[in-house]
Amino acid sequence: MWARKRIDISWIDLAFGAVRCFVPAHRQRPLPPIAALGPAAGDMLESLSVRSGFDLLLTALELPPGSEVLVSAVTIRDMTRIIEEHGLVPVAIELDPATMAPDLERLRQAATPATRAILVAHLFGGRIDLRPIAEFATKHQLLLIEDCAQAYAGPEFMGHPASMASMFSFGPIKTATALGGALVQVRDPALLARMSALQAEYPRQGRWAFLLRIAKYAGLKAVSSRPVYGALVRLFRAFGVDHDRLVNGAVRGFAGEGFFVRIRRQPCAALLALMERRVRRFDARRLEARAAAGEVLLERLGEVEACPGAASTPHSHWVFPLKVDDPPSAIAALARAGFDATQGQSLVVVDPPDDRPELDPLVTRDTMKKVIYLPCYPELPSEAIWRLAAAIAPLAARAATPPVRQAIARSEILCTSTPQSNASSI
């Protein structure tokens, strides 16, 4: 069985990280600044995670309590939890299913005099067009914060110049992972200095804890090969264990008690060294291979409506979401065909503020309820991708929109889809 995901790190990188854990902090050679590796020089914070960096950002910003933050309606649960911890109110913004970009009409409707910031997420590996949102932010004097956790594509793209901050994750399931760590590009030097000063007060992540983490993910990497994974899934099934929950739970970061204590740490030297290595030696060909696998699936499917976010470009297909009518039976059908799909557990739909039910992102809610994630990574041979494409063709959701046949060139679909196209059509 083809596992849902492969951890995007080589054995050599893992060994490098492990060896670095044995070097005490005062013996580490100073690293060249990661910022110097990309076109955007200088203004970058290296943090333990995107969540840690975002929390630092909000601490440093000191927005008045009760301020509202407009957020892309899909994100990981902890992002809104952090907003709330700072006494701020997250306000969900409906997304255009074609691109997963915030709907402009909804942004206008949601903004109030209490609105201070917008948190936009680039979802599933696609990169959304930030220009209209940046214009909106400028017009209303809102801070624009860009969540690029799912959109890392090498040091050439370090965020949109109009955002105040752009956050990239190197967490375990992310592209070019360092099993943790994040880069936060901050375009206001004074703000960056405040964030760095705050972070310098944090206790440091322990290097043995990081070594343990490397061991854990080395283990997960070892069992994600096709024959081993298939055997394990069969074994779990025989013992009545839900492997889906087990796997999704195993890769969740900062789960359990003491969330804020645990994110408020500095990354250890070994993590920093591994992150620097992943950026410096970024493997563009691997990313291209993954993107190509996603494009083949899209092309064979011929229905981008069933693939939320497919119309955003460039797209690296960090994950491949597919909207189906009946997720459990689609997952079962794919399992029979040898593919391990999942509904996922980490992404959530943001609830509207209690007193503004009209902002409930119904289109996004419907989409996310029916989305399953398919295996899509460079290790999949073309033969498997074609088989997967054939297996998903009859499963793709058709209810909401008329099917677009292969006859219509994909480029045409991309050109004609407008940001507001079907966002309010539910």
Ligand X SMILES: *Cc1c(COP(=O)(O)O)cnc(C)c1O
Decide whether 73 or 380 has the Cβ nearer to ligand X. 73
Listed ranges 145-153, 222-230, 294-302, 400-408: which one lies at the site for ligand X (CB under 6 A) = 145-153
Contact characters 244-283, ligand X, x per CB under 6 A? ---------x------------------------------
Decide whether 126 or 171 has the Cβ nearer to ligand X. 171
Give every CB contact of residue 14 below 8 A, 6+ residues apart in sequence: 214, 217, 218, 221
In this structure, what token pair is assigned to residue 103?
A: 């709907």
The reply on whether position 182 binds ligand X by CB under 6 A is yes
Q: Cβ distance 56 to 167 under 8 Å?
A: no
Total number of residues that touch ligand X (CB under 6 A): 15
Dist. CA 394–CA 220, nearest whole Å: 32
Q: Is 236 exposed, middle or buried (0-12, 13-18, 19+ CB in 10 A)?
A: middle
The reply on whether position 76 binds ligand X by CB under 6 A is yes
The reply on whether position 309 binds ligand X by CB under 6 A is no
Dist. CA 146–CA 187, nearest whole Å: 12
Min CB(171)–ligand X separation in Å: 3
Please compute, for residue 57, the number of CA atoms within 13 A of its CA located in the half-sphere on the CB side.
31
Dist. CA 304–CA 179, nearest whole Å: 32
The reply on whether position 102 binds ligand X by CB under 6 A is no
Q: Which one among 49, 99, 312, 417 touches ligand X, defined by CB under 6 A?
A: 49
Decide whether 109 or 196 has the Cβ nearer to ligand X. 196
Min CB(149)–ligand X separation in Å: 3
The reply on whether position 149 binds ligand X by CB under 6 A is yes
Dist. CA 160–CA 122, nearest whole Å: 11
The reply on whether position 44 binds ligand X by CB under 6 A is no
Decide whether 316 or 388 has the Cβ nearer to ligand X. 316
Q: Which of these, 38, 51, 116, 73, lies nearest to 366 by C-alpha position?
A: 73
Listed ranges 45-53, 353-361, 383-391, 403-411: which one lies at the site for ligand X (CB under 6 A) = 45-53
Min CB(238)–ligand X separation in Å: 33
Min CB(125)–ligand X separation in Å: 10
Q: Which one among 169, 185, 316, 343 touches ligand X, defined by CB under 6 A?
A: 169
The answer to whether the Cα torsion of 407, 394, 102, 45 is positive or negative is negative
Q: Cβ distance 185 to 43 under 8 Å?
A: yes
Min CB(121)–ligand X separation in Å: 4
The reply on whether position 205 binds ligand X by CB under 6 A is no
Dist. CA 50–CA 66, nearest whole Å: 23
Amino acid sitting at position 135: E
Kindly list the residues in this chain that would bind ligand X in the complex (CB under 6 A): 49-51, 75-76, 79, 121, 147, 149-150, 169, 171, 174, 182, 253
